[in-house]
Structure 1
Amino acid sequence: MLTVSNYHYIRENFDAPFLSIFGVTPKLFEKQLLLLKKTGTFIHPNDLISNPDKIIKSKQNYILITFDDGLKEQFELAKPILDQLKIPALFFVNSINHIEKKVSLVHKIHLLRSQMSPSKLLSTFAAAGPKFIIALSTLEKRKAILHYNYDNEESAYLKYILNFKLNIAEQSKLIDSIFDHFFNEKKVIETLYMAENQLTILAKEGMLGSHTHSHMALGLLEPELIEDELSKTKHYLKQLTNTNIVSISYPYGSIEACAKPVSELAQSLEYTIGFTMERGINTGDENKLLLKRFDCNDLPGGKNEKFFKDEYSFIYK
């Protein structure tokens, strides 16, 4: 069986005017790795890629550590801990940060939310015109709370509106102008994302994967745009590192974000392993391009570890 733990931000503190960027400190990261070690055996991404059935169908619990978004803090703060403990991991990166020197829209939103309350942002959107006054249905509110289960309701609704009710052009129109008032994009690029030499190191160690080009919910796009998102990063990383990238993590990872034909197009581009954010342990019946992952908070040492202990108590027997 395969248990996958996913991480984003790794930093010493998360102080900001408003809570919007969540993650773990290096100390808590190391503590969780040691707790996970008691439940199974860490594997290298190459082991999974070369023989996924052996890993997933095994009665033994194998554990894979993954990181999304290609953040510099992952390389500088998390990787030294992994190296010290001799634990491999898989780092998924977006190519827009390197090819176009742009901050991913999702990170612009995170940074803005750290400076503005959800209500303030929504009122700013409404001021942009009637089309940006969006009310969620009861079902959509439930989906928002379920998907963004670590946020309060107001923040969850804001995230759902941005990610699932507005297209990329609409999001960019709203966010870009506000972002430029608070941040210098060039400086954010330099400090937030891994440098190309760091990507090359990860590739040489067999620990680099694609998180698509611009971090969009692929399942909401037209097929040609999905293919473009999947192929750009693969091509960029191959040119940069002389490595064929065959693993992918789908941005957002929800059912909507991974809907057909996402995995089919990924397969056509010769990706062989793909990860969603559907919670659960992979036991053998899964599509190898739609594997399940836990947010790190769902696992031992996380904020919601009771879920894992309740649902997967057999791991501890």
Structure 2
Amino acid sequence: MLTISNYHYIRENFNANYPSIFGVTPDLFKNQLILLKGKGDFISSIDLILNGDEILKSKDNYYLITFDDGLKEQYNCAVPVLEELNIPVILFANSRNYQDKKVSTVHKIHLLRSMLSPKEFLSKISHQNDLNTISDAIVEKAQSIYIYDDKETAVLKFLLNFKMDFTIQEKIIKVIFDNYFNENEVLNELYMNEKEIVHLSKKGFLGSHTHNHFPIGLMNEDEITFELENSKLYFEKLTNTKIETVAYPYGSPEASTSEVARIAIKAGYKYGFTTTRGINTQDSNCLLLNRFDCNDMPGGKNYKVV
């Protein structure tokens, strides 16, 4: 059986006007890995691709470490810890950040939320009609997805990520973002560069996080196909290595549907990763593997011993 632990941000501190960017420090990351190392064996993407069926069928505990978004702090802070402990990893990156030289809208939102309260943020986008009425159903759904956020923050994130048209959202967020940040500076500071991406790929540490950072399960077939194929082809050409794993942005059931899995197989992926919590066994769909948030794993701040 396979347990996958997923991470995003890793830095020495997360100080901000408003808590919006969360993650682990390098020390906490290292301590958690050491704890997991005593509970089972770590596998790599190569192990998964070559021996995935055996790993999933086994009653032994196997662990896989993943990071989403291709952030420079992952390369600077996480990779050295992993190399010190001889633990492999898959870091999933978006091709848009390199091909289009654009900051992903999701990260623009993270940065803006670190400066603006949820109320202030909502007020800046309140002219959109679909944000004016917030039903109990929306609140309930938002809180079921963003279980670690307060109600106001969960609703804001749900509306931005699942209820706003992508094109409209990008335009609105860009206007707000440009008032506070220089996109080129953020691009260079936030993401790994191409040289670092190539280095990771040679170690078997690179996977696709699609082209844009969109919940692709909400898109049509042509759009999903582009998101999956373009990222794969771009990174394969850049690195001269095969990209056979993909992590679906957001990873919720809405973002990683059976249709997404079908198209991912067609695009040439062998394994796909969601954010649905759970252990993977022989009954798991290889293109819809479960992943735990690192905070839910042993050593994580939300872990509860049953």
SS in 1 for 2:179: helix
Counterpart in 2 of 1:314? none
Counterpart in 1 of 2:7? 7
Residue 108 of structure 2 is aligned to residue 120 of structure 1 = no
In the TM superposition, 1:1-317 aligns within 5 A as: 1-126=1-126, 129=127, 131-306=129-304, 309-310=305-306
Q: Is the 8 A contact 1:134 1:161 kept in 2?
A: no
Q: Is the 8 A contact 1:2 1:55 kept in 2?
A: yes
Question: Alignment RMSD, CA only?
Answer: 1.0
Q: Is the 8 A contact 1:125 1:132 kept in 2?
A: no
Once the two structures are aligned, what percentage of the paired residues are identical?
A: 54
Query: In the TM superposition, what is the alpha-carbon distance from 1:172 to its structure 2 partner?
Result: 1.1
User: How big is each residue's C-alpha offset from its partner over 1:227-260, in whole Å with a ceiling of 9 and x where there is no partner?
Assistant: 0000111111111110110100000000000124
TM-score (norm 1): 0.95
Which amino acid is the alignment partner of residue 101 of structure 1? Answer: K
SS in 2 for 1:261: helix
Structure 1 residues 130 and 100: alpha-carbon distance in aligned structure 2, compared to 1, 3 A threshold? closer
Q: Following the alignment from structure 2 to structure 1, what is the Cα–Cα distance between the partners of residues 106 and 42? A: 30
User: How big is each residue's C-alpha offset from its partner over 1:217-236, in whole Å with a ceiling of 9 and x where there is no partner?
Assistant: 01100110000000111111
Query: In the TM superposition, what is the alpha-carbon distance from 1:118 to its structure 2 partner?
Result: 0.5
The ranges of structure 1 where at least 4 consecutive aligned residues each deviate by more than 4 angstroms after the TM superposition are: none
Q: Is the 8 A contact 1:45 1:207 kept in 2?
A: yes
Q: Following the alignment from structure 1 to structure 2, what is the Cα–Cα distance between the partners of residues 134 and 205? A: 48
Q: Following the alignment from structure 1 to structure 2, what is the Cα–Cα distance between the partners of residues 176 and 12? A: 28
Query: In the TM superposition, what is the alpha-carbon distance from 1:140 to its structure 2 partner?
Result: 2.3
Q: Following the alignment from structure 1 to structure 2, what is the Cα–Cα distance between the partners of residues 130 and 63? A: 43
Query: In the TM superposition, what is the alpha-carbon distance from 1:289 to its structure 2 partner?
Result: 0.3
Q: Is the 8 A contact 1:65 1:88 kept in 2?
A: yes
Q: Is the 8 A contact 2:130 2:163 kept in 1?
A: no
Structure 1 stretch displaced more, 78-87 or 34-43: 34-43
SS in 2 for 1:92: strand
Which amino acid is the alignment partner of residue 54 of structure 1? Answer: E
Query: In the TM superposition, what is the alpha-carbon distance from 1:132 to its structure 2 partner?
Result: 4.9
Q: Following the alignment from structure 2 to structure 1, what is the Cα–Cα distance between the partners of residues 266 and 73? A: 33
SS in 1 for 2:75: helix
User: How big is each residue's C-alpha offset from its partner over 1:135-155, in whole Å with a ceiling of 9 and x where there is no partner?
Assistant: 333232122112111211111
Unpaired runs of at least 5, structure 2: none
Q: Is the 8 A contact 1:43 1:88 kept in 2?
A: yes
Query: In the TM superposition, what is the alpha-carbon distance from 1:130 to its structure 2 partner?
Result: 5.0
Q: Following the alignment from structure 1 to structure 2, what is the Cα–Cα distance between the partners of residues 242 and 130? A: 44
Between the two proteins, the alignment pairs up a number of residues equal to 306
TM-score (norm 2): 0.98
Q: Is the 8 A contact 2:95 2:234 kept in 1?
A: yes
Q: Following the alignment from structure 2 to structure 1, what is the Cα–Cα distance between the partners of residues 228 and 74? A: 23
